Amino acid sequence: MSAEDLGRLLRGLAPQVLGALLRRYHDFDSCEDALQEAMLAATIQWPVDGVPDNARAWLVTVASRRVIDQIRSERARRDRETSSASRELPDALVAPGPDERVPRDHDDTLTLLFMCCHPALTPASQVALTLRAVGGLTTAEVAGAFLVPEATMGPRISRAKQRIRAAGTALSTPEGPAYVERLGAVLHVLYLIFNEGYTASSGPDLQRPDLATEAVRLTRAIHRSLPDDGEVAGLLALMLLTDARRAARTDAEGGLIPLAEQDRTRWDSDMVQEGARLVTDAMLRSPLGPYQLQAAIASLHVQAPRAADTDWPQIRFLYQVLCRIAPSPMATLNHAIAVAMTDGPDAGLAMLSALAADDRMARHHRLTATRAHLLELAGDTAAAREDYLLASRLTTSLPEQRYLRTRADRLTETDPTS
């Protein structure tokens, strides 16, 4: 087994082992330390002795011993301090025997994800803790992924752990409506991780961990645990159908290429097929949800052989449903684009003016950029140019700003009145 294969195997097992340890011993920090030591032991022993038949149980046993040693020495220290007689170890401190019933492997990954997405945490802390505990990234790697120093990320992760500890019932999986809500939080965190990676993947920082790939890996793990959940499948499909376009969406200089102008031969056809299959299957078998709808829309976009072949009436319909079941300004914005593509730019622009009344959107560069695009389609070059320039001032992304200025300049060149 190559070092790379071993690394991949261990990274897949890590959250399951950590979940199993936490179920028994509760203390996040000692469980994490013990896991690190067990993984280190595995990287030394397995290449020599071979991978044990039940690699996960091996790691749990080795790590459990380590946690128990730590608790024992901690207790001995306390006993020395208090001069009290030594006590019996409770059952919880005994390492599990090989015949002990263990739940299905992936359930532990899921339990750990549920814990990391505890409602006591902010989304940014949920993201950081998920990458650290479930993704198995080091604090330095998580910090690198978000381009902040380790000295900033370290306290963020520590505080997240403290909050979870303070909240008590960390590892109990919620039931009923709370379960649905928590699963929603987990999917949202994975979506945030994916987006962070997706927007960053063209950046100059090649050392950053690939968060988009990491998000896909974790979402796959939940999909294996919950194969019948349509929204989990929908999110996985959405990620695959979006990531499939990665190679085509920036040019050699890192400039953004809009969907309609991308070289479709550079899209990853395996990812497109897998994503399309996942979402079609999910929509047939389970109740409709926002991730499935967004995946279905992404699927229609990538299955058109040319931009001109895009099935806009169908996309328009799906956005209409999305706006009904999960209303958001972004959904309305995209709906307006689809309306413009089916009924003409004026119909789309009318929807945008309603959206501009929304405070959250009025000064949003996406709204202004979309209006610029629709004005350009409508032939109102001067107004389109103004809006491209306004959007370029509102965005906080350098490549977006470059793109929007280029669009504005293009209109200056062709504008006969200037």
Q: Give the footprint of other proteins on this chain (CB under 8 A).
A: 122-125, 128, 146-149, 152-159, 199-205, 245, 249, 256, 258-259, 369, 395-401, 403-404
Report, in Å, the least distance between residue 256 CB and other proteins: 5
For residues 325 and 362, which CB has a smaller minimum distance to other proteins in the complex? 362
Cβ-Cβ contacts under 8 Å for 30 (sequence gap 6 or more): 67, 70, 71
Separation of alpha carbons 400 and 402, rounded Å: 5
For residues 114 and 403, which CB has a smaller minimum distance to other proteins in the complex? 403
For residues 67 and 391, which CB has a smaller minimum distance to other proteins in the complex? 391
| Unique residue bearing structure tokens 């307006």 | 336
For residues 86 and 396, which CB has a smaller minimum distance to other proteins in the complex? 396
Report, in Å, the least distance between residue 108 CB and other proteins: 27
Report, in Å, the least distance between residue 257 CB and other proteins: 8
Identify the sign of the CA torsion 214, 218, 224, 228.
negative
Angle between helices 381-394 and 365-378 (to 10 degrees): 160
For residues 169 and 406, which CB has a smaller minimum distance to other proteins in the complex? 406
CB–CB of 220/258 below 8 Å? no
Separation of alpha carbons 221 and 219, rounded Å: 5
CA distances from 20 to 15, 35, 56, 93, 362 (A): 8, 11, 10, 13, 48
CA distances from 259 to 180, 291, 344, 376 (A): 34, 20, 19, 17
Report, in Å, the least distance between residue 84 CB and other proteins: 35
CB–CB of 388/372 below 8 Å? yes
Separation of alpha carbons 390 and 364, rounded Å: 10
Report, in Å, the least distance between residue 57 CB and other proteins: 35
Separation of alpha carbons 11 and 136, rounded Å: 6
Report, in Å, the least distance between residue 122 CB and other proteins: 6
C-alpha torsion angle, residues 383, 389, 394, 399 (rounded to 10): 130
For residues 136 and 197, which CB has a smaller minimum distance to other proteins in the complex? 197
Report, in Å, the least distance between residue 395 CB and other proteins: 8
Report, in Å, the least distance between residue 146 CB and other proteins: 7
Residue type, 258: P
For residues 106 and 365, which CB has a smaller minimum distance to other proteins in the complex? 365
For residues 17 and 384, which CB has a smaller minimum distance to other proteins in the complex? 384
As a whole number of Å, the CA-based R_g of the chain is 25
